[in-house]
Structure 1
Amino acid sequence: MKTTDWPDIPYGAWRDTCDALHLYAQVVGKYRLARTPWLCHSWHATLYPSALGLTTGLVPDGPGGIELILDLVEHRVIGAANNGRRAGFKLASMSVAQFDTELRILINELGGTPHWHWSPNEVAAPVPFAEDTAQRPYDADAVSRFHRALILVALVFAEFRTAFLGKASPVHLFWGSFDLAVTRFSGRRAPIHPGGVPFLPDAVTREAYSHEVSSAGFWPGGGGVDYPCFYSYAYPAPPGFAPARIQPSAAHYDVTLGEFILPYEAVRTSPDPAGMLMSFLQDTYRTAADLANWDVRNLECQVGRPLRPRQI
Structure 2
Amino acid sequence: MSECRNAWPPLVYEDLAPMVGYVNRVVQVAGKYTLDEPFEVGWGNIVLDVTPRGLRTPTLRQRGVTFSVHYRLLDGDVVIESDAGSRAVHLSKGSVATFYRAFCDAAAELGIHRPRTLLICEIPDGAPTFEDDHVERSWDPGAALLMWEALNLTADGLETWQASFLGHRPRVGVMWGGFDLSATRHRVQPTEPPPDRPTFMQNAQLEGYVAVGFSFGAATAPSAGVYAYIWPQPDGLEGRSWGVDGAFWNADAGLVLLPWDKLRESTDPHQAIVAFGDAVYDAAVELAGWPSDLIAPRVDGWYMSRTAPEVVRAQHH
| TM > 0.5 fold call | yes
C-alpha displacement of 1:223 = 6.2
Q: Which structure's residues are more often helix, by fraction?
A: 2
Deviations 1:225-250 (A, max 9, x none): 20111101001111102442322130
Q: Tell me the percent identity.
A: 23
**SS where residue 79 of structure 2 aligns?**
strand
Q: Supply the distance in 2 between the matched residues of 1:264 and 1:29 (Cα, whole angstroms).
A: 27
Q: Does residue 255 in structure 1 map to residue 232 in structure 2?
A: no
Deviations 1:15-44 (A, max 9, x none): 1111111111111211332x3232222223
Structure 1 segment 272-287 matched on structure 2, within 5 A: 272-287=268-283
Tell me which stretches of 4 or more aligned residues in structure 1 moved more than 6 Å.
Answer: none
Q: Supply the distance in 1 between the matched residues of 2:139 and 2:168 (Cα, whole angstroms).
A: 38
Q: Does residue 130 in structure 1 map to residue 131 in structure 2?
A: yes
Structure 1 segment 96-245 matched on structure 2, within 5 A: 96-127=96-127, 128-190=129-191, 192-197=192-197, 201-202=198-199, 204-222=200-218, 224-245=220-241
**SS where residue 226 of structure 2 aligns?**
strand
Alignment RMSD, CA only? 1.8
Partner of 2:297: 302
TM-score (norm 1): 0.91
Amino acid in structure 2 at the alignment position of 1:306: G
The answer to which of 231-240 and 45-54 deviates more is 45-54
Q: Supply the distance in 2 between the matched residues of 1:194 and 1:209 (Cα, whole angstroms).
A: 9
Amino acid in structure 2 at the alignment position of 1:268: R
Alignment length (residue pairs): 304
C-alpha displacement of 1:195 = 4.7
Partner of 1:24: 26
8 A contact 1:251–1:260 mirrored in 2: yes
Q: Supply the distance in 2 between the matched residues of 1:172 and 1:297 (Cα, whole angstroms).
A: 25
Match of 2:17 among 15, 18, 21: 15
C-alpha displacement of 1:196 = 4.1
8 A contact 2:29–2:115 mirrored in 1: no
Deviations 1:66-88 (A, max 9, x none): 110000111110011023x0101
8 A contact 2:56–2:68 mirrored in 1: yes
8 A contact 1:252–1:262 mirrored in 2: yes
Structure 1 segment 64-103 matched on structure 2, within 5 A: 64-83=65-84, 85-103=85-103
Q: Supply the distance in 1 between the matched residues of 2:222 and 2:130 (Cα, whole angstroms).
A: 25
C-alpha displacement of 1:221 = 1.4
Q: Supply the distance in 2 between the matched residues of 1:29 and 1:146 (Cα, whole angstroms).
A: 18
Gaps in structure 1 of 5+ consecutive residues:
none
Q: Supply the distance in 1 between the matched residues of 2:268 and 2:115 (Cα, whole angstroms).
A: 45
Q: Supply the distance in 1 between the matched residues of 2:58 and 2:223 (Cα, whole angstroms).
A: 29
C-alpha displacement of 1:286 = 0.8
**SS where residue 186 of structure 2 aligns?**
strand
Q: Supply the distance in 1 between the matched residues of 2:261 and 2:245 (Cα, whole angstroms).
A: 13
Q: Supply the distance in 1 between the matched residues of 2:106 and 2:45 (Cα, whole angstroms).
A: 22
The answer to which of 262-271 and 72-81 deviates more is 262-271
Q: Supply the distance in 2 between the matched residues of 1:111 and 1:287 (Cα, whole angstroms).
A: 49
**SS where residue 38 of structure 1 aligns?**
coil
8 A contact 2:226–2:257 mirrored in 1: yes
